[in-house]
Structure 1
């Protein structure tokens, strides 16, 4: 019997390790974490297969989380399975003139924002087939009033910039037990998509939060101002701003810095996010934002409309505060999306390693969109309550 709580806890620990390994460029750590995650998902799927072994009804399988495949997807997975079982699998797969169907990648990308809340709050777009996009770099600009017959002398100059979304490559490898090839196309699809979704999410989220811009996105915590000291393609961290209490005055002073674009244009504050890692949330943010109101505890109470988000990509005692939609992240599959594999990498484990890659890029759209906070000394804010007697009114 699958212990869902134990599975959830193991998954969280593995993904936290994977996020740390990506942030530290630790190849061995990434390999170990993905290997553990692959084994975990494989065990879960094998048990689910056994529980549905006597059922061939597609509707029943669908209710149990097995996605029904398109004819193109089924042909693709069957070709991969047959190639994997051949006497010369590497040559057989090389001769398979089939790339991973775009519907598989669309399914993966569509599921990621639903499962990982940070990507619901940023300007996240599927840019499949697109290499460049125009993005608004200046925020809202105003038109100018004038007489009916006067010349138009106000233009939205410099409002848009070209952004290369195919410049960076995001690669994931999938350790697949050879036993998985015997389960059929639908189960192999579930395994591949789940591993890809988590691997891509951790890679994306780490890039969105803390990427330094060298062969990866530029993170929210980085200094993207024109005066930033970029060395070897790497962007430096912003100077941290100390936040010691979540009072209206303290958070308001920081939020006020976000009300103007880098070009000096005013903008309203909406879609504000406060991103911290789970440990810092439980030890610093949760105690500071939890109140006992009318006989029950109320969590995540902020003095300004804001969503608190947990992300393993944020270092301990740090937080990112800003306008989620002012971070642009484009991700999509390009022509190089063919699934490749190698038997030697995990030969002794009786596993085949599959590799997939996708392309994209991300960056804050201006230097005033986010602030990098030091919350190591964050304490509970206790409002002052004044009692007014009838004689004082």
Structure 2
């Protein structure tokens, strides 16, 4: 919860960072990232000042009790950061298999899924240090009596897909002032986790929705049907949007039916779907199309004929929405065996600062092409109550 001026500035910096990423302005992105780092530093320092006076507040603000392994990791990191030759110290640190404990990354995952509705709905999996992940593509397999032969083995094997988690790497640079190293492991942990969390959020949400599949995850708006042409420059092609004008049962049911059959022709059962649109479209299109005034003079909202969770994401363009089955999208994310945090000299820095690179490997995609539908909601009509006026015949 935002409780002080630094927190407000941090929120503003995060919004600026998201806007810069959406615009593609690299220079604005660098400035927004630096603004964000500065705001986190200021927040952590202010929290440190209240450490002895009110520890309960720190717990409420996201600081946690470290495990023994986490404590040892941060102590070694602090020692390396203060060293006259930090690059060598970090090399030694990683060579002793003192990589970032998995519990730190797991905590970041938990906060991501708790705070961001879209990420809380997809199948988000911590793959730890694995580089490949095998998925069952849900194709129907039938057992058959008879002799064991290669055809049966081939059929069963074909029902699995492999995702190369290591192929996509997410990197972020963190500038840590030397005086912050003096605050100790608990505060350094909060600083690192905050940077990881926000960097991941900004990158993950866009990737889940619009990733091209080229050196990044494959988004829900991409056409991944079997045999589709993959462009070495632009990745998978975008899906063609289906235009809808209402959420009335007949029209909406027809759209939902497209999700009910997999690429292999098997029927798929589901009880809820998720609809993603940006904030403007929600207020001007989706909300009016799912809200009516009832007999009591008050408004009834979220009136979908089929259970639908609406999630807002400003990564989508105006007039565009994505309808999908969240449990049918997999995202594997984990650390690197070479270390999640490493010292870098790619940036020139002042004597009182240390620059570190934070890196994670991951990949994601839908199970097949029928998991998601792109909708054109630009002509979505407001909802209204239909009254049928039936004239009764009078029998003489």
Any gaps of 5 or more consecutive residues in structure 1?
A: none
Aligned 8 A contact 2:47 2:58 in 1: no
Provide the rounded CA distance (Å) in 1 between the counterparts of 2:174 and 2:16: 15
Q: Counterpart of 1:230 in 2: which secondary structure?
A: coil
Whole-Å Cα distance in 1 between the matches of residues 262 and 346 of structure 2? 52
Name the structure 2 match of 1:101: 101
Distance 1:16 1:279 in 2: 16
Contact preservation (8 Å) 1:18, 1:34 = no
Q: Say whether residues 1:332 and 2:329 are aligned partners.
A: no
Given the superposition, is the C-alpha separation of residues 179 and 284 from structure 1 closer, same or farther in structure 2, using an over 3 Å criterion? farther
The change in CA–CA distance for 1:65 and 1:5 in structure 2 (over 3 A counts) is closer
Structure 2 length as normaliser, TM-score?
0.85
Q: Are the structure 2 counterparts of residues 32 and 288 from structure 1 closer, same or farther at C-alpha, using a change threshold of 3 Å?
A: farther
* Of 353-362 and 79-88, the range deviating more from structure 2: 79-88
**Counterpart of 1:238?**
239
Aligned equivalents of 2:278, 2:332: Cα separation in 1:
24
Q: CA contact under 8 A between 2:319 and 2:376: conserved in structure 1?
A: yes
Deviations 1:139-197 (A, max 9, x none): 5x3758x9xxx759997743322332332212222233333222211011001101101
- Which segments of 5 or more consecutive residues in structure 2 lack a partner in the other structure? none
TM-score by length of 1: 0.86
Shift of 1:340: 1.7
The answer for the alignment partner of 1:371 in structure 2 is: 373
Q: CA RMSD in A?
A: 3.0
1:321 maps to 2:320: no
Distance 1:18 1:100 in 2: 29
Q: CA 1:250/1:40 → structure 2, altered by over 3 Å: closer, same or farther? A: farther
Displacement after TM superposition at 1:106 (Å): 1.7
Inter-partner Cα distance in structure 1 for 2:367 and 2:252: 22
In the alignment, what sits opposite 1:52?
51
Structure 1 residues 353 and 310 mapped into 2: Cα distance closer, same or farther (>3 Å)?
farther
Comparing 372-381 with 176-185, greater Cα deviation is found at: 176-185
The alpha-carbon distance between structure 1 residues 4 and 295, as it changes in their structure 2 partners (threshold 3 A), is: farther
DSSP 3-state at the match of 1:257? helix
Tell me how far apart the structure 1 counterparts of residues 89 and 64 of structure 2 sit (CA, whole Å): 27
Is the partner of 1:228 in helix, strand or coil?
coil
Q: Which residue of 1 aligns with 2:211?
A: 211
Tell me how far 1:116 sits from its aligned partner: 1.3
Aligned to 1:286: 287
Deviates more, 1:354-363 or 1:310-319: 310-319
Hey, what does 2:41 align to over in structure 1?
A: 42
Map 1:261-272 onto structure 2 (within 5 A). Answer: 261-272=262-273
